[in-house]
Structure 1
Amino acid sequence: MGRERERERERERERERERERERERERERERERERERERERERERERERERERREREGERERRMTEREGDRGREREKERERGMEGGREREERENERMRERERERERERERERERERERERERERGKTDEREKKSERECETGGGAGREREVERETSSSREREA
């Protein structure tokens, strides 16, 4: 009789543990749904920022286009009034732009020349290094040249002895 009640209590405790595990799984699913909602809100904020950025760019583009249109209308008005100043001013602006471009090209050419000069300096340095190395070998008697020189001296002294 007592063992039966004990087994019943054990089964009840097991059912309670199972219900607790189920509640924990449900809480975890709820946390996951909340994380997903947060990710969705973040994606929505990102889309909103992107939309605003495109609007600003569009507005900037529209203003630039309007200004271009205003300039065109202004030139047209000047022509209508018989003012050639607009064309002259435009020609002066174009000439200044061409002059700036020529100056940039001259600067690029000067930079290329400086680079060529640096390259020549490096080459000269390498040549100087090779010459110094060769001189050091001669002074220290190093290298194959010295061996040939010793052989020549030896053979000529043998010839004298003979």
Structure 2
Amino acid sequence: MNHVLNNKRREEKRREEKRREEKRREEKRREEKRREEKRREEKRREEKRREEKRREEKRREEKRREEKRREEKRREEKRREEKRREEKRREEKRREEKRREEKRREEKRREEKRREEKRREEKRREEKRREEKRREEKRREEKRREEKRREEKRREEKRREEKRREEKRREEKRREEKRWYVCVEYEGNVVRPFQTSNKLKLNK
């Protein structure tokens, strides 16, 4: 009886030991499982952190790229703006040069016009002077001719006057001769004239 009881106790003890062992194993498995779970969790967290880090890095990289693109865009815009300004300045310079050139041409045309006008004026004046000279020459010539005509007229008048005077003298002489001399005819012959006076005198 005691033997059976002992066996029973031993069996019970073994079972208990077995349960405990099983419990310990179970606990160990659970602990292992918890650890594994923890490791997994840690791994997941680590992975998550890494992922987050990668994402953050990616965002930063994207941000840097975006900033770089923006910077490049700003630079490009700045270059374009500078180019536009430069083009504008060049265009303005070309226009200014064109205006100056046009102004110079206009001034040249005006100067040429003034010179042409001056030449024409000088020509007109010269022509006027020549015309005046011709007229003066003509007046002088006319005056000379007039003077010549007058001189000729005076000479003619003088000649006529002289002629009249001569004629008058001759007439006077003839009259005088007629008064003082007579021709006598004697017996059909013409005798030398003799001087007459109040009293008839014969030549001796």
> When the two structures are superposed, what TM-score results if normalisation uses the length of structure 1?
0.46
User: Which structure: greater helix fraction?
Assistant: 1
TM-score by length of 2: 0.37
Return the structure number with greater strand share. Answer: 2
